[in-house]
Amino acid sequence: MSLGLDSTDTPKVKRLPDPKKSLLYSLILPGAGQVYNGRWWKVPFVYGALGATVGVYLYNQENYKNFQLAYSARLAGDPVPSGLPPEFSNPVLQELRTLRVYRDRYNKDRQSWLIYSIGVYGLQAIEALVDAHLRDFDVNEDLSLRLKPSLGMPGPGGMTPGVSLTLTIR
C-alpha cells in the first residue's frame, strides 16, 4: 500500500510556537506575540485595552496639570493663568481648597491608570506565553460526565449517602 509519497516528499509538520519567543515579541511590541502564535484576531483586543487605559491616563494627566497650574497660581495670589480651559474662570474653581481637591483626585486617578496600563501590557504578554504553551494541549471533543448515587464509608451513624462524579475522556 502506497501513501503517494516518493523519497523527496516530506510530510508537513505543524509548527508550534516557541513560548519564550512569543513572550519576547509581546514585550517588544504589544500584540506581536499573538501574531507569532497565529492568533491575529486577538490583536484588536490588545490595542483596544492598551488604548483605553493609556487614553484615560492621558486624560487624567492633562487635568492634573491644569489643576496644578491653577492651584500654584492661586497659591501665589495670581489670577488664573492664560492657557487654561475657560471653565477655570468659574468662581467655584477660584478657591484653593476646591483646586487642591480636584488636583489631588486627578493625581490619584492618573497614578491608578498608569498601573492599569502596565497591568494590561503585562497581561497581554502573559496571555501570549500561555497561548503558546497550550498550543499542543490535546483537547478531545469526546468528554462525558456521569453522575450516580453512591454510599460512602461507614461512619459513626452508618453508611453515608452521596453522589459520585465520573469524567471520562476518550
Which of the 8 DSSP states describes residue 38?
A: T
Alpha carbon distance 161, 158 (integer Å): 10
pLDDT tens sequence across 30-57: 999 999 999 999 999 999 999 999 999 9
Q: Which domain holds residue 105?
A: 19-138
Domain count, the chain: 1
Give a yes or no: residue 10 inside a domain. no
Give a yes or no: residue 9 inside a domain. no
Alpha carbon distance 66, 106 (integer Å): 10
Give a yes or no: residue 49 inside a domain. yes
Single-letter residue type at 166: T
Give a yes or no: residue 115 inside a domain. yes
Give a yes or no: residue 6 inside a domain. no
Give a yes or no: residue 154 inside a domain. no
Long-range contacts of 104-109 (CB under 8 A, 24+ apart): 106/60, 106/63, 106/64, 106/67, 107/64, 109/56, 109/60
Give a yes or no: residue 122 inside a domain. yes
Is pTM beyond 0.85? Reply is: no
CB 110 within 8 A of CB 64: yes
Alpha carbon distance 1, 42 (integer Å): 44
In the chain the first and final C-alpha atoms are separated, in Å, by 29
pLDDT tens sequence across 52-97: 999 999 999 999 999 999 899 888 887 777 778 877 777 777 788 9
Give a yes or no: residue 8 inside a domain. no
pLDDT tens sequence across 103-148: 999 999 999 999 999 999 999 999 999 999 998 887 667 667 777 7
